[in-house]
């Protein structure tokens, strides 16, 4: 079933006229959503942790950051734009007791509400408005007069008025200029996790690592392996982005296209597809969420170990060296 998509004319910004929007966290999404809403004429307050760079950034941008408790108490719509892994704790310690009936609790990713880490009190609807792009793009597109496509969803039992306020909010951040797709908390959360695990982060990283190591083990120079298996991926993804698989295939050589059809399915084979189904099952039944929440409660020891291990890969060492020679790529090291 094709999605329902809303545009500027479907949304009424005046619904927000007498509302105060509290943005919790002035990070990637927070700084963009807060400024776009303010530029759209909305009443916006923000909260940040005193003494942090983003607190100073909020001040520099003309906000007077409040404590979380104070911002929640003053806000009618409370948009939680804190790191996902701390939202549950911050909610219980600093948000829950300051909500009033009629408030709307918002997020830009459904993980904590969908998996029960945030359980709003009676009388408080939940609403998701999520730009499908990073915060800096949400801000820069808005300033240019455009907007990043976004998602909207309301929680169980939420009113039609909450949905209309969500569309107004989406208009305020520029989302309806790009189109706002109606979804559910479950669909947003589950597809987001699946995408990042199977394709965007997990799938692609592991594909690159395995291919690089195969070439190096076979005696090819690591620099050659780096260019073939990682660097050139950007050129291919840019073609996907502009015109899908078909445009990529139109642009590459016939030899590459033939290899794609005949060898690709041997890499992503039935076993891979079965594993994808298993991963989707673990997302849907909450197993992944439980694992990640417990990992964080324990101080994230496994997570930190994975990070250390992968930073030391030969792929990464070769890459650092090669990127330092490519002045045009805006190389980043963290």
Q: How far is the CB of 201 from Mg ion (least distance, A)?
A: 9
Q: Does 190 bind Mg ion (CB under 5 A)?
A: no
Catalytic residue, from 109, 114, 136, 231: name it.
Answer: 109
- Residues 104 and 127: beta-carbon distance below 8 Å: yes
Could you give the CA distance from residue 223 to residue 217 in angstroms, rounded to a whole number? 13
Please say which residue, 135 or 319, places its beta carbon nearer to ligand NDP: 135
Q: Count Cα neighbours of 126 within 13 Å in the Cβ-side half-sphere.
A: 24
Q: How far is the CB of 264 from ligand NDP (least distance, A)?
A: 29
Identify which range of 32-40, 189-197, 201-209, 287-295 contacts Mg ion by CB under 5 A: 189-197
44 binds, among ligand NDP, Mg ion, none (CB under 5 to 8 A by kind): none
Q: How far is the CB of 39 from ligand NDP (least distance, A)?
A: 18
- Helix-helix angle 53-60:28-39, to 10 degrees: 10
How far lies 251's CA from each of 14, 121, 235, 245, 255, in Å? Answer: 47, 54, 10, 10, 11
116 binds, among Mg ion, ligand NDP, none (CB under 5 to 8 A by kind): none
Q: Which residues are registered as beta bridge partners of 57? A: none
Could you give the CA distance from residue 213 to residue 220 in angstroms, rounded to a whole number? 10
- Residues 103 and 122: beta-carbon distance below 8 Å: no
Q: How far is the CB of 197 from ligand NDP (least distance, A)?
A: 14
Q: Does 192 bind Mg ion (CB under 5 A)?
A: yes
- Residues 209 and 315: beta-carbon distance below 8 Å: yes
**Residues in contact with ligand NDP by the rule CB under 6 A:** 24-30, 47-49, 52, 54, 68, 81-84, 86, 90, 107-109, 130-131, 134-135
Q: How far is the CB of 196 from Mg ion (least distance, A)?
A: 5
Annotation marks residue 231 as catalytic? no
Question: Would strands 77-80 and 43-47 be described as parallel, antiparallel, or unpaired?
Answer: unpaired
Q: If you ran DSSP here, which 8-state letter would residue 252 be given?
A: S
Please say which residue, 13 or 49, places its beta carbon nearer to ligand NDP: 49
C-alpha 51, offset from chain centre: 26
User: How many residues line the site for Mg ion (CB under 5 A)?
Assistant: 1
Site string for Mg ion, 287-316 (x = CB under 5 A): ------------------------------
Dihedrals φ, ψ of 235, to 5°? -65, -40
Question: Would strands 20-24 and 77-80 be described as parallel, antiparallel, or unpaired?
Answer: parallel
Q: How far is the CB of 244 from ligand NDP (least distance, A)?
A: 23
Instruction: Using alpha carbons only, give the angle 108, 115, 89 rounded to the nearest 5 degrees.
Output: 75
Task: For residue 161, give both structure tokens.
Answer: 């008025």
Please say which residue, 111 or 212, places its beta carbon nearer to ligand NDP: 111
Dihedrals φ, ψ of 285, to 5°? -85, 5
Site string for Mg ion, 137-176 (x = CB under 5 A): ----------------------------------------
Please say which residue, 73 or 252, places its beta carbon nearer to ligand NDP: 73
Residue 127 parent element (H or E)? strand 125-131
Please say which residue, 57 or 322, places its beta carbon nearer to ligand NDP: 57
Please say which residue, 10 or 84, places its beta carbon nearer to Mg ion: 84
**Positions marked catalytic:** 109
């Amino acid at each position: 079933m094709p999605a329902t998509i809303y545009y500027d004319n479907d949304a009424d910004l005046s619904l927000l006229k007498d509302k105060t929007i509290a943005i919790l966290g002035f990070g990637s999404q927070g700084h963009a959503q807060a400024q776009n809403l303010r530029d759209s004429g909305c009443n916006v307050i923000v909260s940040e942790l005193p003494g942090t760079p983003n607190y100073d950034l909020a001040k520099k941008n003309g906000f007077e950051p409040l404590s979380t408790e104070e911002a929640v108490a003053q806000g009618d719509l409370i948009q939680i734009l804190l790191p996902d892994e701390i939202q549950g704790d911050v909610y219980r310690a600093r948000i829950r007791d300051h909500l009033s009936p009629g408030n709307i609790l918002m997020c830009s990713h459904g993980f904590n509400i969908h998996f029960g880490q945030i359980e709003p009190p009676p009388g408080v609807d939940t609403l998701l408005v999520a730009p499908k792009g990073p915060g800096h793009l949400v801000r820069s597109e808005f300033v240019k007069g455009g907007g990043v496509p976004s998602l909207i969803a309301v929680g169980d039992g939420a009113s039609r008025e909450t949905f209309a306020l969500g569309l107004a909010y989406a208009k305020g951040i520029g989302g309806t200029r790009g189109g706002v797709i109606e979804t559910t908390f479950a669909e947003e959360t589950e597809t987001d996790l699946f995408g990042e695990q199977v394709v965007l982060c997990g799938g692609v990283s592991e594909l690159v690592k395995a291919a690089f190591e195969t070439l190096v083990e076979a005696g090819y120079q690591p620099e050659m392996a780096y260019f073939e298996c990682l660097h050139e991926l950007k050129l291919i993804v840019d073609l996907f982005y502009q015109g899908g698989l078909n445009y990529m295939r139109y642009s590459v050589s016939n030899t590459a296209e033939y290899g794609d059809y005949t060898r690709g399915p041997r890499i992503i084979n039935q076993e891979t597809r079965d594993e994808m189904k298993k991963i989707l099952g673990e997302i849907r039944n909450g197993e992944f969420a439980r694992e990640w929440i417990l990992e964080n409660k324990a101080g994230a020891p496994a997570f930190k170990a994975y990070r250390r291990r992968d930073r030391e890969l030969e792929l990464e060492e070769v890459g650092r060296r090669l990127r330092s020679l490519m002045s045009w790529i805006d190389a980043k090291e963290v």
